[in-house]
Every structure is written in structure tokens, then in C-alpha cells.
Structure 1
Amino acid sequence: MWFDSWSDLLRVVAVGTAAYVVLVVVLRLSGKRTLAKLNVFDLVVTVALGSTLATILLSADVAWAEGAVAFLVLVLLQMLVSWSTSHGGPGRSLVTARPTTVLRDGVLDEAAMTDQRLTAAEIRQAVRGTGAGGFDQVARVVLETDGTLSVITVGKLGDRSALEPEDR
């Protein structure tokens, strides 16, 4: 239970090191988008990569080459989905959520907050984080596709072109 053999430990070190190197190389070659803030699909790929790495490390039934191919397949699928969604593919709405305005012109949108499971306290925290002291100083708070809250103060509203998708 605590120790089987030195050869098993050596296998974990050797295969683990090789798998780690392959994972880092594949992620670096795939570009920054693979490691960007996570949407649902990115989270699934990240969890799958971690699970694959753990399986390669701990299961003698999985060869290092199989694990390396699994890494490559997951990253290539992630790149394919990223490419298709960035080019306006029909699957975009399945993979990427739309931004949601939860505060407009200083007024909380209770329905949007309920739909997105946000509390007023979370929105107040985001507003405070920008240095604004009250909702009256805020033009919009937008829940972004990656789960972050963007706060646009009245003084930074500009021509509103950054708000167009959710204002339509």
C-alpha cells in the first residue's frame, strides 16, 4: 500500500517528466489563447489535460506516446473550437456565453442578476475595485464571458461602442 517497487517510482519520475515537457511544449505551440481566461470549453480542456497528465503519471497501462497524442488531440480540438468561434461560427453560442449587463446607469438589473446568480454585494465589490464610491458613478457593469465583472464608470463611457453587443 505504501510502497510497491523502486521501478514503479522510477517510471513515475521518467514518464512524468517526459509528459510534463510534452504538455508544456504543446501548450506553448498552441498559442496564448489556450491559456487565456477560461470559458466553459477552455475549462473542460484544462480539466481533461490535468486528468490526462495524472493518468499518464499513475497508470502503467497508458504509454507515454499515447498520453502525448492525447495532449495533442485535446489542444488541437481546443484550437479548432477557438478558431471556429472567433470566425463567427454557428457553434459560438454553445461554447461562449454572451456578456450580460447587470447594472445600467447606476441601476441594478435584478432579473439579469438572478439569471446569472450574482448578488448586489458582488457587484458592489467590483465597483469598489475601480475606485468608484457609488452606483451613481457607474454607467455599466457587465458580466463578461469569462465570469469577470467589467465596470465602466460614467467618466469612462466614451462613445459606448464597447457596449454595443449587450445593448442591442
Structure 2
Amino acid sequence: MKKEEIHFGDWHRLFIGNNPGEFLLEVAIRTIVIYLFLLLLMRFMGKRMNAQLNVVELSVMIMLGGIVSVAMQLPDRGLLHSIMTLGCMLVLYRGINWLAFKNQTVERLVQGDLEQVVADGELDLKAMANARLSREQLFAQLRKAKIQHLGQVKRVYMEANGEFSIYQQQPPKPGLSVLPDKDTALHFAEPADMQQQACERCGHTEPTGQHPGNCSRCDSGTWTKAVQLKQPRKEAQPQPEPALS
């Protein structure tokens, strides 16, 4: 469209465009047809499309948006072209899932693999780098799961779809706090373990009595107090009274 054809106050062009007014009815019909076909397509793609998406599913969703927008809005494009394209997307999506089911290498290639980012209360920095996961992103997920320090964590897996699986340590051991650094008041109130100190980078713990130097796991030289949650006291159980003879 040439700039000479653009005039402020041209309300017909602004709201309807250069198409005749009757095209609004056609847009409504196109939208209804494509929407109903898209619902049917999503039904055949399976329940995973309604859950959190992995890379393959997200790619399909982006392409579906581009396909249906053309069918609904461009008057020179017929509906059958977009319906055929949507059908191709269905075959492609189901075909990739079938190959991933048959071949584990294909599954890891197109959907990714899990990463173990915490083991026995210590961060696996290499796995976090592979997953492009920052320390604060991980700590946010732990705080959401009501975790206060790494000593409470046995394993944390970052799944292929980006979700986190957290398994707690029983009983918890001293560990690095995951509370925000900005909340100094809450950090000050945390119960410190006087016998252990934690590496601020990876959470590795060493006895307080000896000067640890650099961390043996990540070579960091910054240490902080290890946190140990207070265990709730067990109430004494009442002793049964002796039976009278």
C-alpha cells in the first residue's frame, strides 16, 4: 500500500480495510470453520498438547497460529489450502512422536533429556550449565516447594519439558540457604549449624573448625554459614498404667 493512500480519518480503511464490507461476514465464516477444524486437530494430537509443552509441541503450536491466521484473514486464500496444511502438521507431529517412542536417540534429539542439577544437597554446576539454568532460577523452584536450604534436598531433576522433580533428604543435613540474599532479616534468623560451613557457589559443606581454602568441588573461596532446620520435638507418649491385679 502506498503512503499516499493512507489518510487519517479514513475510517473505512481503518476498520474494514480495502476489502468490501461483505468480507467481514466471510471472515466470520472462515474463523468458525478453521476453529472447529483446529479443535478436532488438537483432539487427535493427544492430551500432551493440553499440558506443559516440550520443544516439538511448542514448535507445532507456533506453526498452527501462522497457518490459521492466513486462512481466516486473506481473501485470496481458500480454506482447503490451510486445512491441508493443518493435516500435514498432524501427520508430522504424530510421526515424530511415533519415532521418538520407537527410538530413544530420536526422543532425546527432539525432546531433550533430563538433567540432575542437585545431588545430596550440592549443586551440579556442569549440569546446570548444560540446562542453561541459573542458580537463582533453581532456588526459586526450591522455595516454591517450601525448601529453605540445600541440605533438605536429596535430588533435583530438571525434566525434558522444563519441570522440576524434587526429592527431599530424610533426615535433612546442614546446607546452603536458598532464601533470597536481599532478605537479610530472614537470613539472620536462620538457625546456623556451628559445626558446618557451606560453599556459596555449589553448596558443598566442610567442618567449621578447619580452614577449607578453596572448595574441593568448584574451586570457589567464598564460604558462609550452613543452615540446619530445627527438628520438632517429639512429645513424650504417656505410659500405660499397670493393670490392677
- TM-score, scaled to structure 2: 0.59
- Alpha-carbon RMSD: 1.8
Considering fraction of residues, name the structure with more helix.
Answer: 1
Aligned match for 1:24, one of 17, 23, 39: 39
Between 1 and 2, higher relative CO (CA 8 Å, sep ≥ 6) is seen in 1
Q: Name the residue aligned to 1:149.
A: 164
The 1:89–1:73 alpha-carbon spacing in structure 2 relative to 1, beyond 3 Å, is farther
Q: Write out aligned runs for 1:5-154 (5 A).
A: 5-88=20-103, 90-154=105-169
How many residue pairs get aligned? The number is 156
Q: Name the residue aligned to 2:208.
A: none
SS at match of 1:20: helix
Q: Alpha-carbon deviation of 1:20?
A: 0.5
SS at match of 1:6: coil
Percent identity, aligned pairs only, is 25
Residues of 1 paired with 2:77 and 2:108: CA distance? 35
Q: Larger C-alpha radius of gyration, 1 or 2?
A: 2
Q: Alpha-carbon deviation of 1:90?
A: 4.1
Q: Is the 8 A contact 1:104 1:141 kept in 2?
A: yes
After superposition, the C-alpha distances for 1:56-113 in whole angstroms (9 at most, x for unaligned) are: 1112232112211211211221111112112225422320101001111110111222
Q: Is the 8 A contact 1:56 1:62 kept in 2?
A: yes
Opposite residue 49 of structure 1, the aligned amino acid is: L
- Greater than 6 Å deviation, 4+ residue runs: none
Q: Alpha-carbon deviation of 1:24?
A: 0.2
Of 49-58 and 143-152, the range deviating more from structure 2: 143-152
Residues of 2 paired with 1:25 and 1:131: CA distance? 40
